[in-house]
Amino acid sequence: MNSSSMIDKDKLEQVERGKRIKYIRENELHMSKTKLAKEIGISGQFLGLVEDGKGNLVYKSIRKLRDLSGHSADYILFGLDDKTLEKTKLCVDRFSESDIKNAFALIENITLFIKDV
């Protein structure tokens, strides 16, 4: 991947991250920009830049947003489903270690079969 496409990908991620943060603020936390900014230790103006995809939060602010929203940092930063691990754990807890190992072996065999087809 060349440096131009890396920059484009980084910029796209930054814009998407800003949209997620805005969605969390407006639809889940029901806070004004000023209120959330104060809660996470930044200015309202800077939060506006972040939500517009023109800035990034520092670790301390991400941690505070994570604590306020209940979302994982993976969700805030990358949009990864933060409920997947919880759902997987609930599902896996019903099975023995042997059952899980057998299931993974089966999945591995299926992928090898599909790859060869």
Q: Is the pTM of this model over 0.85?
A: no
Backbone angles phi, psi at 49, to 5 degrees: -65, -40
Cβ contact 69:22 at 8 Å: no
Which one is predicted more confidently, 92 or 55? 55
> What are the structural domain ranges in the chain?
3-80, 86-116
Residue that is written with structure tokens 């079969």 in the block:
113
What does the pLDDT look like over 79-117, one tens digit per residue?
A: 988 777 778 878 888 899 999 899 989 999 999 989 876
pLDDT of residue 1: 63
Sole residue written with tokens 């992928």: 111
| Burial of residue 57 (number of CB atoms within 10 Å: 0-12, 13-18, 19+) | buried
Q: pLDDT by residue (tens digit) across 1-52?
A: 677 777 799 999 999 999 999 999 999 999 999 999 999 999 999 999 999 9
pLDDT attached to residue 27? 98
CATH number (1.10.1740.10, 1.10.260.40, 3.40.640.10, 3.30.1600.10) of 3-80 reads 1.10.260.40
Q: Are 82 and 75 in contact (CB under 8 A)?
A: yes
